[in-house]
A and B are shown apart, each in its own frame.
Chain A
Amino acid sequence: MKAHLTRRYMFSASHRLHSDEMSEEENRATYGKCNNPYGHGHNYMLEVTVSGPVDDQTGMVCNLADLDGFVHNQIVERYDHQNLNLLSEFAENVPTTENLCIAIYDIVKRGFHKAHLERVRIEETMMNSFEYAGDL
């Protein structure tokens, strides 16, 4: 029987929203105070949702220790207390939370094979959140 399992994780990081393809004025108009030159930070709350049949032997979709280990090593370690703009995945992409969702989805999809990845959801603040479930 198939179930969905969601786990929440936290990390803190800084970023600046700025596109080299836009003029200073366009950047300011598009990104507002998120374009301030020295950047700013957030406490990101990440939700990873995986799905699969509930294993008869363990009663689990996947072992939480495996999912936690993967997300801690590959996601939290990579992003926590970092400046997102300096990471390779944001060399050419603006580190919006939309693009962060896609980057994290791709890392989990590529590296975690113990359950099916359904969705990545990130709360940038208590007032906004973003989801990515792959290209449908």
Chain B
Amino acid sequence: MVYLTRKAEFSASHYYHNPEFTPEENRRVFGKCNNPNGHGHNYTLEVTVKGAVDPKSGFVVDLKQLKDVMSREVLDALDHRFLNKEVPEFLTKIPTTENLAITIWQRLAPKLDQAQLHRVRLYETPDLFVDFYGEG
């Protein structure tokens, strides 16, 4: 088993708000992340896949295929978007880094046929990242 990680970057805006909370609760729980006009980050995504090394190609996965899937399923949908308003998952879920990592996993996992998704690591800033290893 070999693990392979591919990085990508995207920039997006978001804000944190739960319609079930009062304005005071939203402000208390989410702080300045609750500002309704949003704010943005440069996200760094690391996608790690695992698998056996193919004896013919020497690859765990065709990097081009992985890059294409990441571009199509994640970057095209999230890059330079206001996540709360433009990404269907976040019409009902709060676009925290945790939920973003889970959403990215759910978008990628069914599309990867050569290798198995092992981990999605998403940096919101250099000081903060979330790891998601799937539901298991």
Q: Which residues of B lie under 8 Å from residue A61 when comparing CB positions?
A: 98, 130
A5 nearest in chain B by CB position? B130
Distance in angstroms from B67 CB to nearest chain A CB is 25
Q: Which residues of A lie under 8 Å from residue B127 when comparing CB positions?
A: 7-9
Q: Supply 7 A–B pairs (Cβ within 8 Å), ascending by A.
A: A1-B102, A1-B135, A3-B131, A4-B132, A6-B130, A8-B126, A49-B131
**B131–A54 contact, CB under 8 A?**
no
B1-47 at interface with A (beta carbon < 8 Å): 16, 18, 20-21, 29-31
Total B residues in contact with A, Cβ cutoff 8 Å: 25
**A59–B16 contact, CB under 8 A?**
yes
Which of these binds chain A: B72-80, B89-97, B110-118?
Answer: B89-97
**A57–B126 contact, CB under 8 A?**
no
Interface string of B121-136 (1 = CB under 8 A from A): 0000011111111010
Decide yes or no: A57 and B130 within 8 Å by CB, A5-B98, A63-B29 being known contacts.
no
State in angstroms the CA–CA spacing of A126 and B128 once bound together. 18
B95 nearest in chain A by CB position? A59
**B128–A7 contact, CB under 8 A?**
yes
Total A residues in contact with B, Cβ cutoff 8 Å: 19
B101 beta carbon closer than 8 Å to chain A: yes
Interchain Cβ contacts within 8 Å, total number: 58
Binding site for A on B (CB under 8 A): 16, 18, 20-21, 29-31, 93-99, 101-102, 126-133, 135
State in angstroms the CA–CA spacing of A40 and B102 once bound together. 43
B25 nearest in chain A by CB position? A57
State in angstroms the CA–CA spacing of A63 and B128 once bound together. 13
**A58–B29 contact, CB under 8 A?**
yes
A87 beta carbon closer than 8 Å to chain B: no
Q: Which residues of B lie under 8 Å from residue A91 when comparing CB positions?
A: none
Most buried by A among B93, B94, B98, B99: B98
Decide yes or no: A6 and B99 within 8 Å by CB, A59-B16, A59-B94, A65-B31 being known contacts.
no
A1-52 at interface with B (beta carbon < 8 Å): 1-9, 49
A86 beta carbon closer than 8 Å to chain B: no
Q: Among the listed B94, B102, B135, which residue makes an inter-chain contact with A58, where contact means beta carbons less than 8 Å apart?
A: B94
Decide yes or no: A54 and B126 within 8 Å by CB, A3-B131, A65-B31 being known contacts.
no
**A59–B99 contact, CB under 8 A?**
yes
**B131–A4 contact, CB under 8 A?**
yes
A107 beta carbon closer than 8 Å to chain B: no
Distance in angstroms from A125 CB to nearest chain B CB is 17
